[in-house]
Amino acid sequence: MTLPPLAHDLTPWGMFLAADVVVKVVILGLALASVATWTVLIAKSFELRARTAAQQRAFEAVDTARTLAEAAIDERSALSPMVRAAVAELDLSSDALSDPEGIKERIASRFDRLEAALGRRMIRGTGVLATIGSTAPFVGLFGTVWGIMNSFVGIAASQTTNLAVVAPGIAEALLATAIGLVAAIPAVVIYNHFARRTAVYRALVGDTSAAVLRLVSRDLSRARS
């Protein structure tokens, strides 16, 4: 005996249109979260690539310079906040050059705050990825639970246990969980990717700070001799 075809459209779009309004809201919210994830990926990738390349050029210029003044006029490192901070502190400490250790300590303190600020700037915007990755599966599960609850209410109302009657509603509900996973998995992967890239950038900033501090130390040693 051949069963008649189901009246429901069981394509993803058809199931979305036939879903309960709460399930629709959940799916739309998860779809927007997925769009946000890919937007952050594109925008942050360009930003990280540009800033890492600029920091690499600055480090190379500082690492090969003989003096801080030489690094300050090199176009690759002239815009580096570390070089500017060191020059500013030396200008402010021009009447205290007899205390080189104090100067280096103050410059190192400036570098610590700059490294923290640059690190915060680079992770800005990635927090939404962590939020999506941790909450999207549960939001999708909420939509699924709500849809299955409605399906059981439909079973009670129709007084039938025929699977062909309730299967479409259950499929619509499970769609919410599927969309939740589609939103969450890329968000987690992309967040971890940016965490690794940001760690590389911060290490490069630290290398630049150390290179500038070496230049300052050399200049102060030359001044004393």
The two structure tokens encoding residue 224? 């004393």
Domain contains 39: yes
Reported confidence tier of residue 35, pLDDT bands at 50, 70, 90: very high
pLDDT > 70: what percent of the chain? 84
Residue span of the structural domain in which 101 resides: 19-224
Please give the tally of structural domains in the chain: 1
Which pTM value belongs to this model? 0.80
Domain contains 98: yes
Domain contains 103: yes
Domain contains 6: no
Burial of 107 (0-12, 13-18, 19+ CB in 10 A): buried
Reported confidence tier of residue 4, pLDDT bands at 50, 70, 90: very low
Cβ-Cβ contacts under 8 Å for 165 (sequence gap 6 or more) = 154, 155, 158
Domain contains 163: yes
Domain contains 8: no
Average pLDDT over residues 34-42: 94
75 vs 97, higher pLDDT = 75
Domain contains 66: yes
Please answer whether residues 83 and 174 qualify as being in contact, where contact means their C-beta atoms are separated by less than 8 angstroms. Answer: no
User: What is the residue-averaged pLDDT of the chain?
Assistant: 84
Domain contains 92: yes
